[in-house]
């Protein structure tokens, strides 16, 4: 009888290429717009109330700095060791720990420079996309001290020197060098960035009175500058609508009827978790739930009729920060939105359709009046009047036969037309 060989228990090793892994995580933020958004979010998490974003296409650099709390080497090390498992906690805007490395793959290298309020000693860490990509094992990221800069509260002193050091108005600065020239990855403009910041962070910006200074330097043309501040929702406040479902928990509708300007409403709805200030705009949300909501519901969320927010207790933000995780909580959330639409929203959608119909009629009438006015101005009105005056009604007068003795009265009125054809006139 053949003896059966036995196999002892053991372990099989698992190898992870850390460089590739970090680049894959950074790829969750697929373009420069999302990357800059993450850097702004980190600034807000550090309790900054002044944030500056400088996008320079001529020099191929992006710089984001803030006057927040700053970080030391211990906190920075904790952040690097918590990628995909953030140390911030659920109530922080950026709780996935990936934003720190999001510039990887979109630039040749980037630096992270920071000093805490307590120490006021600046350190700079440098990340090279190419070097990180090569490394299977990454034990640490090198840093160096910077004694040539000092933080100052007064922005008017920025650039001045003291004891060989230059004053700067920031505690943390992230600078991307030689940003990608790939048109898809490098997609960013001042308008889309402003709306992204307002949509995602408007709540915390209002609460902390934050100003974000945007500067865009194009390859050619004039420099654009803009100060971004979150404003209160405009319009007529609607009664708060609260509903619950088992899997999603409580859902709160805090909405305003957006004011109509030049015949249009341009309101914006944000979607979010009750426990977190981060928001998605309605357009982003609708892309991910288009199979869970009817077309009319999707339409009203993006219609511009409302300003405000819709919050849910138990939905979970996806690590890519562009959607919510598809689970039972999200499905029940959509059920709650559909119920709100039937009980509240549909009336406003019907009213909007009537407004649009009336506006279309007004536009058609206005175009017709302009055409008639132009035609009259360009036509020979005197000749037209002679033609109209030449029309004859009835059978009496010059050019007609003498009126004979009437022999009776017909049942209907009529007018005579050239050629002897008569047409009845309805009473």
> Using 50, 70 and 90 to split pLDDT, how confident is the model at 290?
very high
Please compute the mean of the pLDDT values over residues 201-228 and round it to a whole number: 95
Position 224 scores a pLDDT of 97
Position 377 scores a pLDDT of 66
Please compute the mean of the pLDDT values over residues 48-66 and round it to a whole number: 97
Residue 421 has pLDDT above 60, yes or no: no
Residue 189 has pLDDT above 90, yes or no: yes
Please compute the mean of the pLDDT values over residues 70-92 and round it to a whole number: 71
Q: Which residue has the higher pLDDT, 341 or 405?
A: 341
Residue 63 has pLDDT above 80, yes or no: yes
> Using 50, 70 and 90 to split pLDDT, how confident is the model at 87?
very low
Position 190 scores a pLDDT of 96
Report residue 22: phi and psi, to 5°. Answer: -65, -40
> Using 50, 70 and 90 to split pLDDT, how confident is the model at 96?
very low
The percent of residues in the chain predicted with pLDDT above 70, rounded, is 81
Report residue 98: phi and psi, to 5°. Answer: -95, -25
Distance between CA atoms of 233 and 197, rounded to whole angstroms?
15
> Using 50, 70 and 90 to split pLDDT, how confident is the model at 408?
low
CA atoms within a 13 Å half-sphere pointing along the CA-CB vector of 149:
18
> Using 50, 70 and 90 to split pLDDT, how confident is the model at 84?
low
Position 93 scores a pLDDT of 43
Which of 194, 186, 196, 189 has the alpha carbon at shortest distance from 218?
Answer: 189
> Using 50, 70 and 90 to split pLDDT, how confident is the model at 328?
very high
Which of 247, 264, 224, 421 has the alpha carbon at shortest distance from 326?
Answer: 247
258 and 265 in contact (C-beta within 8 Å)? yes
Distance between CA atoms of 326 and 288, rounded to whole angstroms?
9
Residue 92 has pLDDT above 60, yes or no: no
Position 9 scores a pLDDT of 82
Position 400 scores a pLDDT of 52
In this predicted structure, which of 79-88, 254-263, 408-417 has the lowest mean pLDDT?
A: 408-417
Q: CATH classification of 18-228, choosing from 3.90.105.10, 3.90.1010.10, 3.30.565.10, 3.40.50.720? A: 3.30.565.10
Position 182 scores a pLDDT of 92
Distance between CA atoms of 158 and 132, rounded to whole angstroms?
34
């Amino acid at each position: 009888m053949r003896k059966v060989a036995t196999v002892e228990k053991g372990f099989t090793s698992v190898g992870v290429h850390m460089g590739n892994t970090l680049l894959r995580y950074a790829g969750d933020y697929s373009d420069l717009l999302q990357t800059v958004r993450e850097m702004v979010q980190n600034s807000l998490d550090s309790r900054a109330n002044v944030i500056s974003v400088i996008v320079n296409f001529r020099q191929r650099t992006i710089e984001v700095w803030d006057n927040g709390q700053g970080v030391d080497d211990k906190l920075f090390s904790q952040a690097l060791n918590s990628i995909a498992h953030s140390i911030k906690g659920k109530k922080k805007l950026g709780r996935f720990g990936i934003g720190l490395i999001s510039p990887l793959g979109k630039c040749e290298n980037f630096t992270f420079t920071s000093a805490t309020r307590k120490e006021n000693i600046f350190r700079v860490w440098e990340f090279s996309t190419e070097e990180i990509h090569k490394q299977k094992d990454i034990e640490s990221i090198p840093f160096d001290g910077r004694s040539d800069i000092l933080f100052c509260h007064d922005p008017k002193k920025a650039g001045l020197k003291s004891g060989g050091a230059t004053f700067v108005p920031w505690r943390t600065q992230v600078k991307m060098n030689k940003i990608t020239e790939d048109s898809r990855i490098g997609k960013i403009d001042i308008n889309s960035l402003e709306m992204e910041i307002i949509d995602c962070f408007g709540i915390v910006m209002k609460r902390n009175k934050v100003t974000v200074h945007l500067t865009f330097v194009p390859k050619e043309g004039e420099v654009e500058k803009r100060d971004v501040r979150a404003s209160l929702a405009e319009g007529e406040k609607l009664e708060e609508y609260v509903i619950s479902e088992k899997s999603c928990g409580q859902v709160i509708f805090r909405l305003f009827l957006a004011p109509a300007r030049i015949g249009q409403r341009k309101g914006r709805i944000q979607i979010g978790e009750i426990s977190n200030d981060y928001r998605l705009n309605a357009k982003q949300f609708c892309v991910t739930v288009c199979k869970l909501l009817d077309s009319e519901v999707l339409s009203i969320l993006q219609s511009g009729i409302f300003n405000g927010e819709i919050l849910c207790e138990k939905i979970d933000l996806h690590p890519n920060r562009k959607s919510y995780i598809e689970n039972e909580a999200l499905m029940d959330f959509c059920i709650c939105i559909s119920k709100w639409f039937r009980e509240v929203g549909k009336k406003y959608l019907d009213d909007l359709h009537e407004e649009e119909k009336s506006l279309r009629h007004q536009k058609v009438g206005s175009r017709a009046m302009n055409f008639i006015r132009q035609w009259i101005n360009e036509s020979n009105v005197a000749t037209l009047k002679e033609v109209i005056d030449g029309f004859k009604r009835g059978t009496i007068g010059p050019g007609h036969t003498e009126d004979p003795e009437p022999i009776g009265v017909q049942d209907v009125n009529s007018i005579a037309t050239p050629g002897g054809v008569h047409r009845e006139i309805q009473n």
